[in-house]
Structure 1
Amino acid sequence: MKCQWCESYEAKETDATVYWELPDGTKAIEIKETPSITCSECGITYQTDETVGHIEDQLFLINTSALEKSVTYEQLMSLPRLLKRNYFDFSK
């Protein structure tokens, strides 16, 4: 897999812990086991645009007030949505 940062072919799919600010800015949460890319050449770990979009949409569409400080990616994605989709995302 090609690294988006250094363009080396030493990048591999991994899971990582990331920290995300809630859309309302009230707090940040830890999201464990998040699908990520890690490059052994440059040492960076990052998430694809698709994964970032999934996290941001889910945080926008769920009741974040009851959200724990730390969740796994799967737990976050399985939480029930208040809306069917993000009606404010005009990029789609």
Structure 2
Amino acid sequence: MPTCDWCGSENAKESSNTVFWELPDGTKAIGITGTPCVSCGDCGMEYQTEETVKGIEDQLFLINTKQLEKQLTYAELMGKPRLLKRNYFDFSS
């Protein structure tokens, strides 16, 4: 069971929600339903972990976003074929 990053509560759980994301080229924003999140029963926050955020950002950078739907599920987004195998411009790791 995760601990809430906002209030430190042990009353947090894994869940999913809808997020809106701006594409890397800034041309539009998309809605991503069913996105994994942490939901806190004490403070009410719902947020994505750093791993989920990095996964979404990498995927949006590596796929052809020109024909991307305005709304899709997290599973559909992560299942889109990549133009590159990995993000060669990410020097954080």
Identity of aligned residues (%): 65
Per the normalisation by structure 2, the TM-score is 0.97
- The separation in 2 between residues aligned to 1:6 and 1:32, in whole angstroms, is 25
- The separation in 1 between residues aligned to 2:85 and 2:9, in whole angstroms, is 39
Structure 1 position 73, deviation (Å): 0.3
- The separation in 1 between residues aligned to 2:64 and 2:31, in whole angstroms, is 16
Q: Is 1:86 the counterpart of 2:65 in the alignment?
A: no
Give ranges in structure 1 of 5+ residues lacking alignment. none
Q: Which runs of 4+ in 1 moved over 3 A?
A: none
Per the normalisation by structure 1, the TM-score is 0.98
Structure 1 position 30, deviation (Å): 0.1
Q: Which residue of 2 aligns with 1:18?
A: 19
**Cα deviation digits, residues 31-90 of structure 1 (max 9, x gap):** 000000000100100000000010000000000000000000000000000001101100
